[in-house]
Chains A and B, each alone.
Chain A
């Protein structure tokens, strides 16, 4: 494996194509190869970072100058039990593989991200949340068991009962304690291929947040869209989509609605226009003026309160059906800034950061809000409150300005008792991370790291940045 290791040197980037790093790329197909990679890393003095589908928005799966351990070839579903809804799969298996396996049998993943291209390993490491986080918690709460390889080559099995400390630290542990090899997940029973969705507009930030707060208990999912270009009294206006599962017998024909063919969106819009072209047509709108126009038009279109039924796949993964939409942000790509803030302070903190972004001439082009509750994972980002995810376009000339602004955001968010999610965040420094995690958590994590990884073999660009090594 050492021979010609230079020939493996590859530049990888983040989902938004705005950050990249070069590393020696390995794609193991078997667990034993992971052990060999650790041995090699130790011998050569290199660090290792696992990489799933590379869907994080930041440097989480990048490891400049080190080894990138790509798990996507380890992608077999090992066991699916349609009676119990338990699925066991290798860590490189994607949410797409999982839901397509389970949905026709009447089961849906308990927690999904806004893209189905993510791998189980990636989902556990960042401990993803869905639009149902206020109710179902992060994906980790539905993991029955996982197996992993530690950098010492030890193979371990963890569950909430067995090796519980590692269970709660490896899930959320940004891939820094070990490599997940297989995951057993409890799926959720569904009685229809459709969700009942209600949509209504909200006139401002306070309306947006109170709707998330008050409507959430009556639904299974809730998500807000925010027109981040609106100012003054309309700041924070947008639209809420809330959805619930259909009960047994509510869908007269569940066998039909649960058919895979009825979950998947067609590959052309209106039957003629190939969706792959869409990013090119979107490009002219992805600038300050265009974003204002699109957001305003979208808000006007959302003013109608309406209800409809929508397939699970379409409700969750709309973005996946516009292949390469991130390319519409142009050459510099995009980043996302997602903050999690307690319900008491969210309004004032977000008002401040949205105003700041508008004042700086660096408005976000897309804002998404969700409702959350705390969880017990070690590096948790959750709060009893809300999250706001803001997409920013990156250009060669705005990088420094954007970075400085996001670091100002960080101060405002930490001041408000907020937290960050390390699948998204990109400019946070180790000092800020220490501030919101607290000394105790950081030390506990580092102690576990020392135990699992005495030779510091697992390190990513993200880890070096936020844990200051």
Chain B
């Protein structure tokens, strides 16, 4: 996209190479900065070219060398993925980490059914993730290494009254990541499912009640730790692990009567 060439590493000082899809989002940008500071060379993907370029500039300036390169990409353009993945892998000189962060959300009213919005959520949150992972998974499997990070949500843990489409999109994504983990662990590939609760980004800007809300920087810290420790599933904040444990065990006859 841009003409920046990444700074060359020497054999004794290699860099890890990562792709972050959805890099200009709240979580994506915090994670990009965090990983670049940890020594990654990154390909940052998103729809908004200007925002991407200024994020790259900010990262490269803060580190003092070219570590991030921008690639304009709309995740709904599934057909562009194979070639883009090859180009990026070439530009980076390899691939160790793939992060899928984009997310679309629409907040329906309690009695609203909106196929157009539901379908968009499923396309962005699930199908495009599958489109990317269908290319990345065989690459990592063949390489016998690499880590995949999927940003799903606590919303995928249970179908609730508020947002069937979003819940379904994240449940499907969580489930897809689990299958992928079961397929790929035996080939040396680690798959991490990230399940944030509320994160203070534009996605939930107008949501009134946001219990246990964390900053995107906090989510980035947790993801970076999960990568280093090769974790499988992480909740942010931690407490969601227990909250969701309870919610997952609420019997249906009660759950049906609840208003969240």
List residues of A whose CB falls within 8 A of some B CB. 4-11, 14, 18-19, 21-22, 44-47, 58-59, 64-66, 335, 394, 399-400, 402-403, 406, 426-427, 429-430, 461, 464-465, 468
Looking at the complex, which one of A18, A65, A426, A430 makes contact with B89 (CB distance below 8 Å)?
A: A65
**A402 engages B143 (CB within 8 Å):** no
**B87 engages A6 (CB within 8 Å):** no
Are A65 and B95 also in contact (CB < 8 A) when A19-B12, A45-B90, A58-B11 are? yes
**A11 engages B144 (CB within 8 Å):** yes
- B62 interface residue (CB < 8 Å to A): no
**11 A-B residue pairs with CB within 8 Å:** A11-B144, A22-B145, A45-B90, A64-B93, A65-B89, A335-B12, A394-B12, A400-B12, A402-B12, A403-B13, A465-B10
- B124 interface residue (CB < 8 Å to A): no
**B142 engages A19 (CB within 8 Å):** no
Majority SS at the chain A contact face? mixed
Most buried by B among A64, A66, A429: A64
Range, interface on chain B: 20 to 34
**A7 engages B142 (CB within 8 Å):** yes
List residues of B whose CB falls within 8 A of some A CB. 8, 10-14, 17, 83, 86-87, 89-95, 135, 138-140, 142-145
CA distance A394 to B83 in the complex (A): 36
**B142 engages A399 (CB within 8 Å):** no
**B93 engages A406 (CB within 8 Å):** no
**A461 engages B11 (CB within 8 Å):** yes
- For B89, the chain A residues whose CB sits under 8 A away are 65
Instruction: Report the minimal beta-carbon distance from A138 to chain B, rounded to whole angstroms.
Output: 24
CA distance A45 to B14 in the complex (A): 23
- Taking A7-B138, A65-B90 as given, write out 9 further A-B residue pairs in contact, using a Cβ cutoff of 8 Å, ordered by the A residue number: A7-B142, A10-B143, A22-B143, A46-B90, A59-B11, A66-B90, A427-B10, A465-B8, A465-B11
Instruction: Report the minimal beta-carbon distance from B89 to chain A, rounded to whole angstroms.
Output: 4
CA distance A64 to B11 in the complex (A): 11
Looking at the complex, which one of B11, B94, B143 makes contact with A18 (CB distance below 8 Å)?
A: B11
CA distance A429 to B8 in the complex (A): 9
- For A8, the chain B residues whose CB sits under 8 A away are 142
For B14, the closest partner residue in chain A by CB is: A19
- For B10, the chain A residues whose CB sits under 8 A away are 403, 426-427, 429, 465
- For A403, the chain B residues whose CB sits under 8 A away are 10, 12-13
- For A44, the chain B residues whose CB sits under 8 A away are 83, 86
CA distance A61 to B14 in the complex (A): 16
- For A65, the chain B residues whose CB sits under 8 A away are 89-95
CA distance A140 to B237 in the complex (A): 64
Instruction: Report the minimal beta-carbon distance from A367 to chain B, rounded to whole angstroms.
Output: 19
